[in-house]
Structure 1
Amino acid sequence: MRTASESYEADEDAAPLDMLVALFEARGWPCQSAQGEMSGEIQGSWTNYQLRGIWRPEDMVLQVICLPEIRVPDGKKKAAHELVARINEQLWLGHFDIWSNGGVVLYRNGTMLGDDGLLSLAQAQALVEIAVDECDRFYPAFQFVLWGDKSPSDALSAAMVDAAGEA
């Protein structure tokens, strides 16, 4: 069996966490893995993101969680939850959430793998890129609500205009 630090060919599949670790190592991103979980760090457009992969073999589900270093202060929870609901209406894959313990904002995407429980390099890249892209896309909206005192609808509109204007 191949170790996570060995490279995989584009047409090879591997155990989900091994493939995620191999992807991180190939890109030079710091990461570590333990029983059933891997974690790493990626520099996004706005901040560093903690990315976690959690494998549930009994369900054949790989969950990717991306944490954009946003904590919701108590006085902003209602507005932040409204913003999360509005953002989630825009998403095709995954969703944003706010952990009740600590008010941490996160992006989460669960992927069911086939009966063999293997992940391709293309799938691993797509899961990581989608998580980071969505966090980058909506990071300004969270900042507008939490620190700029904009309403959730105004913050989302402003963030979407800014994102649409970039080349």
Structure 2
Amino acid sequence: MTTTFIKLAQPTSNIVEVLNRWENDPALIPLTRPNKTQSELDRRDIVSLEDLTKRMEDHYIYLIYLDDELIGEMNYVVDPPFLFKKEPGTAWLGITIGETIGRGKGVGYAAIQYLEEQVKEQGLKRIELGVFEFNQQAQKLYQKLGYKEIGRIDNFTYWQGKMWTDIRMEKYL
């Protein structure tokens, strides 16, 4: 199996369709976005080609392919306002392995390493990310890659009938 990472340069309706499928997958929603209530968890969003194009103005977006099949997306944004530690020159990472075929095969590990190289090439020295406390698989991945916990935000997201903490992690490059 070959994993390939491609920077999104020109969004297409096919890419938007796949991203919308992942964005609205009930199994992925609790992992990819904070929700304050059950109704937020049940909400479905539709991303348009225009929305994705606008997002590309401040996000660096990369598509993840496994043997030529689009299986995930990762991105970073520089110095967003929601950083836990407001340190200039920080990239905030996000990753979604949308297709089950891409999980448990080291794709996430390789993807984060690739994204770290892109961040480093841009001259940034620090990465921050958030992971929900119930997502232990992602926590283990980030720890394995050298990310350290720097703080927690209690009652950050709702899932399975209760509120959960967001664990903030960082890595210096």
More helix by share: 1
**What's the TM-score, normalizing by structure 1?**
0.31
Q: Counting strand residues as a fraction of each chain, which structure ranks higher?
A: 2
